[in-house]
């Protein structure tokens, strides 16, 4: 068996900084290019953290839409993932799709990290976020529970390394492995039809996807 990268779904309310956070990790500008600044599909991205103290140093992120119209995509993202990041704006705190994201995470029964974004802003209030989470039965580490909380800024980079290390620590505890000789097990996260025919984005959880394989 070989250690595999954790699959991490990023969930939360629209405009709370999910894609901007992923942009910082990937050193890209996806958020600026999306229509209306809103993610409208699931995207999967692999990031090499360069952190070598854990079972793996690579993380596969799934970015999910935060707009209310994309509930099914958020649910799919949580179902595919090993770990979730619940992104909450430090100023806005809990919003409707935050509550829905919590429900998806609990339904998937996966560990998660509360990530409070925009921590560089003066009106960011992490303590209020933690108190508000109690109303939704989310007990963070300093509020009598075990859910880790990391405050980050995708603008300054503050807290990013702590977030990555927290993900890798949880992944190591989960002991995620795969056997390249096993039958292929993968999740289709997105599909479309273009001039080549049907094209799908998949995340492999076990086995190996090879050129020429038939996928059903």
DSSP-assigned letters across all residues of 56-81: -SEEEEEE---SGGGHHHHHHHHHH-
Angle at 168 between CA 93 and CA 179, to 5 degrees: 130
pLDDT at 79: 77
Token pair of 123, please? 């009106």
67 is an active site residue: yes
Mean pLDDT of the chain: 84
Looking at the predicted structure, is the pLDDT value of residue 139 above 50? yes
Looking at the predicted structure, is the pLDDT value of residue 37 above 60? no
Q: Rounded to whole angstroms, how far apart are CA atoms 42 and 63? A: 6
Beta strands in the chain (DSSP E): 2-3, 7-12, 43-48, 58-63, 83-89, 112-117, 149-151, 177-178, 185-194, 197-206
Residue 146 or residue 190, greater confidence: 146
Token pair of 208, please? 């190996």
Domains along the sequence of the chain with CATH: 2-178 (3.40.50.300)
- How many whole angstroms from its chain centre is CA 175? 18
pLDDT at 74: 54
Query: Which residue in the list 13, 67, 136, 187 is annotated as catalytic?
Result: 67
Helix 160-174 and helix 18-26, axial crossing angle in degrees, nearest 10:
90
Residue 198 or residue 92, greater confidence: 92
Looking at the predicted structure, is the pLDDT value of residue 40 above 50? no
Instruction: Write the DSSP symbol of residue 204.
Output: E
Nearest one of 25, 9, 114 to 63, comparing CA atoms: 9
The pLDDT confidence band at residue 67, using thresholds 50, 70 and 90, is: very low
**Percentage of the chain with pLDDT > 90?**
44
Q: Give mean pLDDT, residues 207-213.
A: 84
Strands 177-178 and 185-194: unpaired
pLDDT at 55: 87
pLDDT at 150: 97
Token pair of 101, please? 């994201």
pLDDT at 93: 95
Instruction: Write the DSSP symbol of residue 23.
Output: H
The pLDDT confidence band at residue 46, using thresholds 50, 70 and 90, is: confident
The pLDDT confidence band at residue 89, using thresholds 50, 70 and 90, is: very high
């Amino acid at each position: 068996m070989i250690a595999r990268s954790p699959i991490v779904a990023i969930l939360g309310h629209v405009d709370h900084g999910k894609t901007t956070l992923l942009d910082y990790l990937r050193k890209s500008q996806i958020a600026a290019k999306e229509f209306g600044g809103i993610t409208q599909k699931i995207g999967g991205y692999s990031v090499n953290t360069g952190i070598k103290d854990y079972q793996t140093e690579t993380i596969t992120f799934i970015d999910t839409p935060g707009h209310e119209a994309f509930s099914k995509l958020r649910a799919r993202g949580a179902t595919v993932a090993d770990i979730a990041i619940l992104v909450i704006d430090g100023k806005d705190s809990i919003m409707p799709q935050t509550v829905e994201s919590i429900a998806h995470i609990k339904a998937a029964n996966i560990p998660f990290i509360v990530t409070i974004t925009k921590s560089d802003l003066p009106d960011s209030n992490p303590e209020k976020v933690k108190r508000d989470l109690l109303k939704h039965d989310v007990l963070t580490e300093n509020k009598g529970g075990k859910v880790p909380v990391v405050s980050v800024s995708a603008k300054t980079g503050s807290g990013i390394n702590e977030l990555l290390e927290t993900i890798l620590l949880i992944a190591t505890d989960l002991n995620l492995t795969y056997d390249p000789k096993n039958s292929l097990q993968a999740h289709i996260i997105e599909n479309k039809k273009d001039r080549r025919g049907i094209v799908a984005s998949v995340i492999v959880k076990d086995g190996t996807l090879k050129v020429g394989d038939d996928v059903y």
